[in-house]
């Protein structure tokens, strides 16, 4: 009778399968918790963060509808009489398509390439900020010289400056990791660079963009591990500097007084006009709003309803429910981007992590300022609502920023699955 091999028991099969999984898997831990494990999944099918894309698509689509709703009556105003009712929404749609193409191109660029060209992008941004101040080069709109005319479109260099400063600050912190405890060798040069950008922006004037850039730079310094005492010292200096700039400028000072009492006799028809009508619009919306297209304030009562004060129209037409939805979308977007940045840093990809977290700070802070201004919680400041407000350069910069975050996420996933970034 021939001997036969014993059949393996169910317990033996399970033990061998468990050992095989342990050999195939490499845990990657973030904050002491297992985040992901290496599998044999090909890197080409790992995909990327689809939820992040869908949130951006939702903001873009909602913004496109609201830009149309807020601007459809503008041709009735003599100032815009030469425009068709769909002029602004068609231009906005064109910029979204152009931004999508630019984002696809940016997504193909590896993060190590962005790190190499960061200083050159910063120099290019400085050149454009200087060029916009040159007569017959920069275009003046509403008393501010912030745009460069490129045929049928206007480009705003301050949007490029936000991205350039962000990339430069992340690259700078990676290069200065060994001296980040020394103020004059680590922090002062970066402070001088941001100061030069700030002076050029204030000459336009564009204090809102300077505020965002200062927050981006400060945030990257803090996330990069700068000594806490130095960080709070720089923060105090910036607060004092902005306070002095406001106090030294009569019209900026008037904006602060109008913010404190927008309905007073002195301010209701002056510096507090926009804020007072934004509050009226939000008040009319109550809980569920007056319905899409039913806004009264957009009918030449609320200036710049399709740009800086688009949220007020959303509040009037969609009510408190609409406002809460917008706030939640931006909160989720910022939180997810910061999470992708933390993943990159946990994988020892410091530059990529700082860039992603800097983009999260940028979009989150700018949305916070715009929402605060529309709700009357902050003084009036000319900052658009990311992804939603009318403004081609801003949409382009926002889309490219998201493409870079998605690139960071893809490279994270490849590393966590045993591939190469």
Residue 342 scores a pLDDT above 90? yes
The rounded distance, in Å, linking the Cα atoms of 97 and 95 is 5
| pLDDT tier, 374 (very low <50, low <70, confident <90, very high otherwise) | very high
Q: What is the DSSP letter of 384?
A: P
* pLDDT tens sequence across 267-278: 777 777 888 889
Which helix (H) or strand (E) covers residue 87, if one does?
A: helix 87-107
| pLDDT tier, 28 (very low <50, low <70, confident <90, very high otherwise) | very low
Residue 260 scores a pLDDT above 50? yes
* pLDDT, greater one: 12 or 254: 254
Indicate the range of 54-68, 181-195, 365-379 predicted with least confidence.
181-195
Residue 32 scores a pLDDT above 50? no
Residue 37 scores a pLDDT above 90? no
Question: If you average pLDDT over every residue of the chain, what do you get?
Answer: 82
The rounded distance, in Å, linking the Cα atoms of 186 and 270 is 45
* 3-state SS, residue 30: strand
| pLDDT tier, 315 (very low <50, low <70, confident <90, very high otherwise) | very high
Reported pTM: 0.83
Mean pLDDT of 111-140: 89
| pLDDT tier, 11 (very low <50, low <70, confident <90, very high otherwise) | low
How many CA atoms are closer than 13 Å to the CA of 4, on its beta-carbon side? 4
Residue 311: name the closest of 255, 259, 388 by CA: 388
Residue 106 scores a pLDDT above 50? yes
DSSP structure string for 337-367: HHHHHHHHHHTT-HHHHHHHHHHHHHHHHHH
Q: Looking at the chain, how many residues does it have? A: 421
Q: Are strands 138-141 and 144-150 parallel, antiparallel or unpaired?
A: antiparallel
Q: Are the C-beta atoms of 127 and 163 separated by less than 8 Å?
A: no
The rounded distance, in Å, linking the Cα atoms of 400 and 103 is 5
* pLDDT, greater one: 365 or 27: 365
Beta bridge partners of 139: 147
Residue 409 scores a pLDDT above 90? yes
Position 47 scores a pLDDT of: 66
Position 17 scores a pLDDT of: 55
Q: Are the C-beta atoms of 201 and 158 separated by less than 8 Å?
A: yes
Mean pLDDT of 245-269: 77
Question: Which range has the top average pLDDT, 61-65, 244-248, 260-264?
Answer: 61-65
Position 40 scores a pLDDT of: 42
Rg, Å, the chain Cα set: 25
Residue 23 scores a pLDDT above 60? no
Residue 404: name the closest of 7, 3, 56, 40 by CA: 56
Residue 187 scores a pLDDT above 80? no
């Amino acid at each position: 009778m021939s001997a036969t091999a014993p059949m393996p028991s169910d317990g033996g099969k399970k033990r061998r399968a468990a050992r095989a999984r342990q050999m195939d898997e490499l845990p990657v831990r973030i904050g002491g918790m297992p985040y992901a494990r290496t599998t044999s999944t090909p890197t080409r099918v790992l995909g990327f963060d689809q939820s992040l894309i869908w949130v951006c698509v939702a903001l873009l689509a909602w913004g496109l509808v609201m830009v149309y709703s807020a601007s459809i009556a503008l041709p009735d105003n003599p100032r815009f009489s030469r425009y068709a009712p769909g002029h602004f929404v068609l231009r906005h749609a064109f910029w979204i398509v152009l931004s999508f193409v630019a984002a696809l191109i940016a997504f193909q660029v590896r993060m190590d390439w962005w790190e190499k060209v960061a200083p050159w992008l910063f120099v290019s941004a400085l050149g454009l900020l200087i060029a916009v101040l040159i007569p017959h080069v920069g275009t003046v709109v509403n008393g501010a010289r912030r745009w460069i005319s490129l045929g049928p479109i206007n480009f705003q260099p301050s949007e490029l400056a936000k991205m350039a400063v962000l990339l430069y600050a992340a690259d700078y912190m990676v290069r200065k990791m060994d001296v980040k405890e020394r103020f004059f060798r680590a922090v002062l040069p970066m402070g001088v660079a941001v100061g030069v950008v700030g002076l050029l922006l204030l000459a336009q004037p564009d204090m809102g963009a300077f505020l965002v850039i200062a927050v981006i730079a400060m945030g990257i310094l803090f996330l990069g591990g700068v000594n806490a005492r130095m960080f709070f010292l720089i923060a105090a200096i910036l607060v004092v500097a902005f306070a002095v700039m406001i106090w030294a400028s009569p019209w900026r000072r008037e904006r602060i007084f109008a913010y404190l009492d927008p309905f007073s006799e002195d301010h209701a028809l002056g510096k507090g006009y926009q804020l007072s009508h934004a509050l009226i619009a939000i008040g009319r919306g109550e809980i569920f709003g007056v319905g899409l297209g039913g806004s009264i304030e957009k009918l030449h009562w609320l200036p710049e309803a399709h740009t800086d004060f688009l949220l007020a129209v959303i509040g009037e037409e969609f009510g408190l429910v609409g406002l809460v939805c917008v706030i939640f979308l931006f909160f989720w977007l910022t939180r997810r981007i910061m999470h992708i940045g933390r993943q990159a840093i946990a994988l020892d990809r410091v530059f990529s992590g700082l860039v992603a977290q800097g983009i999260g700070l940028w979009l989150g802070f700018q949305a916070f300022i715009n929402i605060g201004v529309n709700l009357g919680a902050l003084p009036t400041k000319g900052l658009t609502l990311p992804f939603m407000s009318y403004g081609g350069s801003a949409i382009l910069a926002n889309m490219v920023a998201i493409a870079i975050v998605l690139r960071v996420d893809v490279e994270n996933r490849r590393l966590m699955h045993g591939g190469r970034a």
